[in-house]
Amino acid sequence: MRKLFGTDGIRGVAGEYPLDKKTVFAVGQALGHHLPAGPRRIVIGQDTRESSDWIVQTLSAGLRASQTEVESAGVITTPGIAYLAHTNKFSAGVVISASHNPWQDNGIKVFGPDGYKLADATELEIEQEIFSRLAGETPSATDLSALAADIQLHQAYVQWLARPIAGAGRIKVVVDCANGAASAIAPEVFKLCGINAEFTHNSPDGRNINENCGALHPEVVAREVVARKADLGICFDGDADRALFADHQGEVVNGDAVMLLLARQLKQRGELASDTVVATTMSNMGLEVALKALGIKMLRAPVGDKYVLDEMKKSGAVIGGEQSGHIILSREATTGDGLLTALRVLEIVAGSGKSLAELVAGMKVFPQVIKNVRVREKQPLSLIPAIWASIQEAERDLNGSGRVVVRYSGTETLARVMIEAESKEKMEKHANAIAQAIQAALGS
């Protein structure tokens, strides 16, 4: 059982354990020591939070203490570091970001030399070494130094993404960068692709990342699309590993609809390996029904893009993702990439001559509600009688006409209650009952 690493690296409040300076330094030492023998080189990138600079400096000091060379790509997306790690022969790649979390939080994500996130077992080994080093010294001021960003690393990722999209200049696009890492990449990429784009929330100040914008608030870009009479909107999260969309009518288009759109195109081209798509337990039943009508099988993985990727490798699928907008196109990338997803969606829209609304109209969404409950600890839900009884009651009542998914967040101290049902009344009733049971037993 890992104590530091969640589904997406180490995450917490910047300056507090496990993101205090002593622990971050120990993380750098442990990670550097864990790398394979030989020349050790790590590429590091960061998002726009005000804490990212000192975390980069502290982690780099720990890496250097383990005889590891550190190169900086500056402010860059999480998938940008994954790309650079495996194309530039780095020993590993590290991203300092807390993704969609508020600015007070931060995180440490690690990619191996192949560009993939570390296996759970590997993270556990690194954790054990981190704990063994916590009794050591905290880095002194002389150990810390700013890293100059290598513009060539930035450009390598931009050039990989950017290629002209025929007809894209005729489409007016509004792009919400969430005041995050996309702010440093998206304008350059979209210009090189010939996309007629207007950008919002691309002026980060260290504290406005994800604040009432981006993929956490897709309704914001949806309103902008209507107000600016644009054809579609795109919004990223803080580290741009996911993207959500809005059509010209101001309707949000989530990751489920994007998977349908991309899978249909791949199948038409004869490129959908195994005629399979991997989604998660949170994906809507409507996606499953729409894919089945196209002759495409849908598999469900646990929430977390690393688990989606694991299932893709097992099944041979080349596309997978989450309702939240993490889309993995495994023939092109090793992890979810919001910019890559946006470009592929724009290619389809520009090439079809149809609106985004028309292209995703084939998916009938089943009513779904998600309730988040902040908890003080993450006890097994099945061992708490009141919670377990409310879950079983919901499953009995729905009797196959819906789904109940109750799980803990892998990145926050939250329990998530998701219920999907043909009956909105039953859906709301049981979601409230389960959430109240969790609040009573575990609420913070």
CATH number of the domain that residue 295 is part of: 3.40.120.10
Domain presence at residue 333: yes
Same domain (yes/no): 13, 145: yes
- The three-class DSSP label of residue 18 is coil
Same domain (yes/no): 271, 331: yes
Q: What is the pLDDT of residues 58-71, one digit of tens each?
A: 999 999 999 999 99
- Number of domain units in the chain: 4
Same domain (yes/no): 129, 16: yes
Same domain (yes/no): 197, 318: no
Same domain (yes/no): 123, 170: no
Domain presence at residue 39: yes
Q: Of 341, 359, 377, at which residue does a domain stop?
A: 359
Confidence of residue 37 (pLDDT cuts 50, 70, 90): confident
Same domain (yes/no): 33, 71: yes
Measured distance CA(433)–CA(444) in Å, rounded: 18
DSSP calls for 273-334: GGGEEEEETTS-HHHHHHHHHTT-EEEEE-SSHHHHHHHHHHHT-SEEE-TTS-EEETTT-S
Measured distance CA(200)–CA(126) in Å, rounded: 39
List the catalytic residue out of 91, 97, 99, 324.
99
**According to the model, what pLDDT value does residue 325 have?**
96
Same domain (yes/no): 170, 77: no
Q: CB of 283 within 8 A of CB of 323?
A: yes
DSSP calls for 386-418: HHHHHHHHHHHHHTTSEEEEEEE-SSSSEEEEE
Domain presence at residue 295: yes
Same domain (yes/no): 217, 240: yes
Q: CB of 279 within 8 A of CB of 300?
A: yes
**According to the model, what pLDDT value does residue 402 have?**
86
**According to the model, what pLDDT value does residue 14 have?**
98
Same domain (yes/no): 347, 437: no
Same domain (yes/no): 373, 344: no
Q: CB of 176 within 8 A of CB of 214?
A: yes
Among this protein's residues, is 99 annotated catalytic? yes
Measured distance CA(202)–CA(208) in Å, rounded: 10
Tell me the residue range of the domain where 102 lies: 5-150
Same domain (yes/no): 233, 172: yes
Domain presence at residue 156: no
Instruction: Indicate the pTM of the whole model.
Output: 0.89
Domain presence at residue 275: yes
Q: Of 150, 179, 207, at which residue does a domain stop?
A: 150
Helix (H) / strand (E) containing 377 = none
Backbone angles phi, psi at 97, to 5 degrees: -165, 150
User: Considering only CA atoms, which of 417, 415, 444, 443 is closest in space to residue 430?
Assistant: 417
Domain presence at residue 391: yes
Confidence of residue 285 (pLDDT cuts 50, 70, 90): confident
Q: What is the pLDDT of residues 238-277, one digit of tens each?
A: 999 999 999 999 999 999 999 999 999 999 999 999 999 9
State which amino acid sits at residue 266.
L
User: What's the first-to-final CA gap in the chain, in angstroms?
Assistant: 22
Domain presence at residue 324: yes
CA angle 301, 306, 308 (to 5 degrees): 30
Q: What is the pLDDT of residues 97-153, one digit of tens each?
A: 999 999 999 999 999 999 999 999 999 999 999 999 998 877 777 778 888 999 999
Say what the alpha-carbon torsion angle 120, 125, 126, 129 is, to the nearest 10 degrees: 160
Measured distance CA(367)–CA(358) in Å, rounded: 21
Domain presence at residue 155: no
Structure tokens at 210: 């994800």
CB within 8 Å of 291: residues ≥ 6 apart: 260, 263, 277, 297, 298
Mean pLDDT score of the chain: 95
Same domain (yes/no): 293, 354: yes
Confidence of residue 38 (pLDDT cuts 50, 70, 90): confident
Q: Of 150, 177, 201, at which residue does a domain stop?
A: 150
DSSP calls for 122-138: HHHHHHHHHHHHTTSPP
User: Considering only CA atoms, which of 22, 95, 10 is closest in space to residue 65?
Assistant: 22
> For the chain, how big is the Rg over CA atoms in Å?
22
Give strand pairing partners of 247.
232
CATH number of the domain that residue 381 is part of: 3.30.310.50
**According to the model, what pLDDT value does residue 399 have?**
87
**According to the model, what pLDDT value does residue 320 have?**
98
**According to the model, what pLDDT value does residue 146 have?**
85
